[in-house]
Amino acid sequence: MNSIFDRPRAARFISHRGFQPLAPANSLPGFAYAGQLGQWAIETDVRMTRDGVLVCCHDATVDATFGGTGAIADMTWDELSKLRMSRGNRLDCFPGDILRMPRFVEYLNICRHAGSIPFIELKTDDVEPVIATLREKGWADNEVVMSSTVLERLAETRRLAPDMFIHWIFAKEERLGELAALGNAGLSWNIPDSFSCPPEKIALAHDAGVKVCLRAADSVEVVRHMIDLGLDYLPSNCMHAPMTLDLSGGRVR
């Protein structure tokens, strides 16, 4: 079975909610910039509207980031599509229609065009429609990462998609064996500062056959440290792939 980790990379940067220095989080231009920068993966959060449309938004409601109020699950796509982002970087640089909430299929199209891996955080229990949409858009299971804070959603992902890489956000050490048993998996420990992460925590996951990342690789110094720790991929809010890497020493210049 081919793996997303078969692609040779010096550092596997994941643009967290798109490339946020240049555009709002979870926006169409944010995803596009991440793709143009050659990111290994582009991360987003997926939710479902009342009428069954999958959209990209971190929060359960539109209140904090859009000019409106209400829960996404209680709104139709037609209602959501009329709202515009009210929070994020460089809002004045984009026409209004570009600042609506992205549909999941639009995000997937950007990932495909850029050659970046979709790194999808399930915000609800809608595992089946997300996987169905991926397949309808031509994504093989082994081209995608499915992530969640809820291990049971990842177990359902594994049942439906045996070859998909799964990632447990803020994993619990006492349940590491359950994740490892699902196979083809990674995790992030809930350790905000990588400099406070004991190397033993990384080894614990690796010894179980599980890949590891920490949040967030947001400076050259942190990226260097994460590479030295042996992390397998690097979620970031601001760093990007064309950085110069000295692979012989695992260093960033």
Sign, CA torsion 98/103/107/110:
negative
Task: Summarize pLDDT for 90-114 with one digit per residue, the tens.
Answer: 999 999 999 999 999 999 999 999 9
Banded model confidence at residue 115, pLDDT cuts 50, 70, 90: very high
Q: Counting beta carbons within 10 angstroms of the beta carbon of residue 51, is it exposed (0 to 12), middle (13 to 18) or buried (19 or more)?
A: exposed
| The pLDDT of residue 52 is above 90 | yes
pLDDT for 181 equals 98
- Please state whether beta strands 245-246 and 251-252 pair in parallel, antiparallel, or not at all (unpaired): antiparallel
For 45, 177, 192, 198, the CA distances from 205, given in Å and listed in that order, are: 25, 9, 17, 12
Mean pLDDT calculated for residue range 7-34: 92
Q: Which residues contact 104 (CB under 8 A, 6 or more apart)?
A: 44, 46, 54, 55, 56, 130, 133
Helices vs. strands in the chain: H and E counts, helices first: 8, 11
Mean pLDDT calculated for residue range 13-24: 98
Task: Summarize pLDDT for 163-190 with one digit per residue, the tens.
Answer: 999 999 999 999 999 999 999 999 999 9
Banded model confidence at residue 2, pLDDT cuts 50, 70, 90: confident
Banded model confidence at residue 11, pLDDT cuts 50, 70, 90: confident
| Domains by residue range for the chain, with CATH | 4-252 (3.20.20.190)
**CA–CA gap between residue 185 and residue 233 (Å, rounded):** 12
pLDDT for 6 equals 77
**CA–CA gap between residue 168 and residue 220 (Å, rounded):** 25
Closest of 46, 239, 33, 34 to residue 145, by C-alpha: 46
Banded model confidence at residue 122, pLDDT cuts 50, 70, 90: very high
| The pLDDT of residue 242 is above 60 | yes
Instruction: List helix spans (H) across 76-217.
Output: 77-81, 104-114, 127-136, 151-160, 176-182, 199-207
Query: What is the overall mean pLDDT for the chain?
Result: 94
**CA–CA gap between residue 38 and residue 165 (Å, rounded):** 20
C-alpha count within 13 angstroms, C-beta hemisphere, residue 213: 21
Q: What is the pTM of this model?
A: 0.95
Q: Which residues contact 91 (CB under 8 A, 6 or more apart)?
A: 24, 85, 99
Ramachandran class of 196: left when φ > 0, alpha when ψ lies in -120 to 50, beta otherwise = alpha
Banded model confidence at residue 253, pLDDT cuts 50, 70, 90: very low
Note whether 151 and 74 are within 8 A (CB). Answer: no
Banded model confidence at residue 4, pLDDT cuts 50, 70, 90: confident
Name the more confident of 244 and 33.
33
pLDDT for 182 equals 98
Task: Summarize pLDDT for 209-234 with one digit per residue, the tens.
Answer: 999 999 999 999 999 999 999 999 99
Note whether 239 and 216 are within 8 A (CB). Answer: no
Instruction: List helix spans (H) across the chain.
Output: 28-36, 77-81, 104-114, 127-136, 151-160, 176-182, 199-207, 220-229
